[in-house]
Structures are given as C-alpha cells and as structure tokens.
Amino acid sequence: TYVIAQPCVDVLDRACVEECPVDCIYEGARMLYIHPDECVDCGACEPVCPVEAIYYEDDLPTEHTPYLQDNADFFFDTLPGRDEPLGSPGGAAALGPVGVDTPLVAAQPPAP
Ligand code: F3S
Ligand code: F3S
C-alpha cells in the first residue's frame, strides 16, 4: 500500500484525492489517510503531493515508518468519539470528512 505521513498534517492539499482511481484516500481532521486494503498501488497520488507526504510502504523514511500502521489504525481502530471502526467504506467521497484523527496525528504539534 501507499501511505500518507506526517507532512500532510495541517496541509491537506487534497491533490492526491483527485488522482486516486479507487477513491481510497480518506479525510480526517488534520490529515488524510490511505486505506491499505482499498489502495491498488497505482502510485498516481505520490508525485502530486506538494509536501511529499506520500510514500510506498517500503520506501517510507525512517522517521515516517509509524504512519504505515497509523494509516491502517485510522480504519481498523476506534477513533475518538466513534464507537465503531470505519472498516472498509469502499469510497471516500461518499463517506465525506470523518472529522477526527488517530491519536498519533492528533498529538502532532501545529504546523508552523
Ligand atoms: Fe495531504 Fe499531500 Fe494529499 S498534503 S491531502 S497527502 S496531496
Ligand atoms: Fe490511490 Fe495512491 Fe493507492 S492513487 S490507489 S492511494 S497508490
């Protein structure tokens, strides 16, 4: 899968969303997350991100490796204020912004 990492926090450029053929890039509150089961590894999102937040899982820089698990946690863990995990919604546009983040992302300092 491809992964969105910390540089997306508070940027949310959303250029990646326009490129994704399977609509598997979902919006939290402070960043977007790629669904690891819905992503088909087409790679179209990676070059369009202006802050280079997107990586193939095996290419994540060391400081961003926690985001592989964290993108998955956004879907398969419960999130603050939600009783049920999101699971596999099958499309980000229909779901809309979720409005919350994983604990890791929520704890990031505000972008300068
Ligand atoms: Fe974030 Fe880059 Fe997409 S800033 S919303 S990963 S284009
Ligand atoms: Fe979509 Fe990027 Fe995966 S464009 S299919 S999230 S590699």
**Which residues contact residue 80 at a Cβ distance below 8 angstroms, ignoring those fewer than 6 apart?**
100, 103, 106
13 lines ligand 1 (CB under 6 A): yes
Q: What is the pLDDT along the chain (112 residues), one digit of tens a residue?
A: 999 999 999 999 999 999 999 999 999 999 999 999 999 999 999 999 999 999 999 999 999 999 999 999 999 999 998 899 999 999 999 999 999 999 999 999 997 7
* ipTM reported for the complex, 2 dp: 0.98
* Cα 75 to averaged position of ligand 2 atoms, centre (Å): 16
Q: Tell if the pTM clears 0.90, that is, is over it.
A: yes
Q: Can you say how many angstroms the Cα of residue 87 is from the centroid of all Cα atoms in its chain? A: 14
Six token digits for residue 4: 């969105």
CA 111 to chain centre: 17
Testing ligand 1's pocket by substitution, the residue of 11, 30, 101 carrying the most ligand atoms inside 8 A of its CB is 11
Q: Whose CA is nearest to atom 2 of ligand 2?
A: 45
